[in-house]
Structure 1
Amino acid sequence: MTLQKKATVVSSSVAAILTLIKLVVGIASGSVAVLASAVDSVLDMFVSVFNYFAISNAEKPADKYFNYGRGKIEALASVIEGTIITLSGLFLLYQAIEKAINGEVSRYIEESLTVMIISLVITISLVIYLNYVSKKTNSMVIKADALHYKTDVYSNVAVLASLLLVNFTGYEIIDVIIGGGISLYIIYSAYELIQDGILVLLDKAVDQTTVKQIEKILMSEERVNNLHLLKTREVGNRIFVEVHLVFDCLITLMEAHKISDKIENKIRKIDKEKNWIINIHMDPYDDFESNDEEHDLH
């Protein structure tokens, strides 16, 4: 089992445990903040399970049906996870408003405090682990999971503050305000996940710093006269690069091929942690003007 898969199994198990504890206490206490955190944990569990299957498919090798592999499943999972987080935030906001209207009173404050402290410690440990896996694998799904549980840490801190304030002051409106604030933060945190996933699905180019490094390498070879139609995109841990290089028309195919191999090796050194898929088209003359439909790409 890969490190990414192990991470999703761990996060799913943790979310299941937290869901059970928070739901029991949240329903018994009537605290909107605790219930909000419980609902969020339910969604965490389902999302982590979904992520396991997303990673399993993304790791499958390219075949005759998916020539470039299934890496974009991770981006799709990120969009779906962000959407689910947004919907959960909206539901929690509804719960807070409903409590404010009906004037419900929180109960079992001490038990709720104990549960949230335990939950906070477990969630912080999980975030540290997921961040480690995310940096190690550069998986978009694990990055999304880490960000998701990071918002849970903030939520748990807010819930603790809510329970303490309600316990000392007796003002239930504090629970409503903090519960509503948590829901708004959850919605806000989902935006980045959705945006990142959509940009990958739309084949957004890699950052300009990396593009400039690639261009510098391409033009550093004496036998390369010019370049055009440079295209880049990133999917998970893979970066795709396509470019047309204009060589001297008198160069032999063998020489041009050796120079192209040399260039590819230099590009791969930009980030050795990435898997570079580089396709160089060798031109004997500059045919850029004949590619009118792609004239604005470089």
Structure 2
Amino acid sequence: MSPQRKATVVSSTVAAILTLIKLVVGIASGSVAVLASAVDSILDMFVSLFNYFAISNAEKPADKYFNYGRGKIEALASVIEGTIITLSGLFLLYQAIEKAITGEVSKYLEESLAVMLISLIITISLVVYLNYVSKKTHSMVIKADALHYKTDVYTNIAVLASLILVNLTGYEIVDVFIGGAISLYIIYSAYELIQNGVLVLLDKAVDEETVKQIEKIFLAEERVNNQHLLKTREVGNKIFVEVHLVFDCLITLMEAHKISDRIENKIRKINKEKNWIINIHMDPYDDFESNDEGHLVN
């Protein structure tokens, strides 16, 4: 089992345990903040299970139906996860508003405090583990999962603060306000997940600094007169690069091929942790203006 899939199994198991504990205490206590955290844990569990499915498919090799592999399923999973988080935030906001209207009183505060403290410790440990896997594998799904559970850490801290303040002051409105604030924060945190996933699905170019490094490598070759139609995109751990290089028209195909290989090796050294898929089109003259794609806007 790959580190990515193992991470999703661990996060799914943790989410299931936290869901059971929080749901029981949340329903019994009537605390919006605890119930909000319980609902979030339910969604965490389903999202982690979905992530396992996404990673399992993304790791499959390219075939005749998916010539470039299935890496974009990670980006799709990120968008779906962000959407689910947004919906959960809206539901929690509804719960807070409903409690404010009905004036429901929280119970079993001491038990709720103990549960949330345990949840906080477990969630922090999970975030540390997921961040480790994310840095090691560069998986977009695991990165999204780590960010998701990081918001849960803040959520658990807020819930603890809510329970302590309600216990000390007896003011239920504190639970309503903190529960509402948690829901808004959850919605806000989902924005980056959705944005990053959509940009990958739309084949956004790699960062400008990397593009400049690639162009610098082209210019360093004496037999390369010019370059055009440089296109880049990133999917998971892969970076795709396509370019037209204009060589001296008197160069042999063998020489041009050797230079292209040298250029590819230099590009791969920009980030050795990435899997570079490089396609170089060798031109004997500059055909940029005559190429239909030459009218792309930079």
Aligned to 1:140: 140
Matched residue pairs, number? 298
Aligned to 1:37: 37
In structure 2, give the amino acid aligned to 1:246. Answer: V
Map 1:229-268 to 2 at 5 A.
Answer: 229-268=229-268
Give a deviation string over 1:137-169, Cα, whole Å, max 9, x none.
000000000000000000000000000000000
Contact 1:230 1:297 in 2 (8 A): no
Aligned to 1:63: 63
Map 1:21-36 to 2 at 5 A.
Answer: 21-36=21-36
- Rounded Cα–Cα distance in structure 2 between residues aligned with 1:49 and 1:120: 21
In structure 1, give the amino acid aligned to 2:281. Answer: H
Aligned to 2:204: 204
Contact 1:155 1:182 in 2 (8 A): yes
The TM-score normalised by the length of structure 1 is 0.99
In structure 2, give the amino acid aligned to 1:253. Answer: L
- Rounded Cα–Cα distance in structure 2 between residues aligned with 1:260 and 1:271: 18
Contact 1:231 1:297 in 2 (8 A): no
Contact 2:99 2:176 in 1 (8 A): yes
In structure 1, give the amino acid aligned to 2:37. Answer: S
Q: Percent identity?
A: 88
- Rounded Cα–Cα distance in structure 1 between residues aligned with 2:28 and 2:108: 7
Aligned to 1:281: 281
- Rounded Cα–Cα distance in structure 1 between residues aligned with 2:168 and 2:72: 50
- Rounded Cα–Cα distance in structure 2 between residues aligned with 1:262 and 1:148: 41
- Rounded Cα–Cα distance in structure 1 between residues aligned with 2:201 and 2:114: 43
- Rounded Cα–Cα distance in structure 1 between residues aligned with 2:294 and 2:254: 28
- Rounded Cα–Cα distance in structure 2 between residues aligned with 1:93 and 1:130: 28
Aligned to 1:98: 98
1:277 partner SS? strand
In structure 1, give the amino acid aligned to 2:43. Answer: L
In structure 2, give the amino acid aligned to 1:73. Answer: I
Aligned to 1:15: 15
Aligned to 1:116: 116
- Rounded Cα–Cα distance in structure 1 between residues aligned with 2:297 and 2:259: 24
Question: Shift in Å at residue 291 of structure 1?
Answer: 1.6
Aligned to 1:153: 153
Aligned to 2:175: 175
Contact 2:75 2:196 in 1 (8 A): yes
Aligned-residue Cα RMSD (Å) equals 0.6
- Rounded Cα–Cα distance in structure 1 between residues aligned with 2:218 and 2:4: 34
Give a deviation string over 1:184-212, Cα, whole Å, max 9, x none.
00000000000000000000000000000
1:289 partner SS? coil
1:290 partner SS? coil
Question: Shift in Å at residue 293 of structure 1?
Answer: 3.8
- Rounded Cα–Cα distance in structure 1 between residues aligned with 2:129 and 2:225: 49
Question: Shift in Å at residue 296 of structure 1?
Answer: 2.9
Contact 2:96 2:180 in 1 (8 A): yes
In structure 1, give the amino acid aligned to 2:252. Answer: T
Runs of 4+ in structure 1 displaced over 3 angstroms?
none
Aligned to 1:54: 54
Give a deviation string over 1:67-106, Cα, whole Å, max 9, x none.
0000000000000000000000000000000000000000
Give a deviation string over 1:213-263, Cα, whole Å, max 9, x none.
000001100000000000000000000000000000000000000000000
- Rounded Cα–Cα distance in structure 2 between residues aligned with 1:181 and 1:97: 11
The TM-score normalised by the length of structure 2 is 0.99
- Rounded Cα–Cα distance in structure 2 between residues aligned with 1:236 and 1:116: 34
2:289 partner SS? helix
- Structure 1 residues not aligned, in runs of 5+: none
Give a deviation string over 1:82-139, Cα, whole Å, max 9, x none.
0000000000000000000000000000000000000000000000000000000000
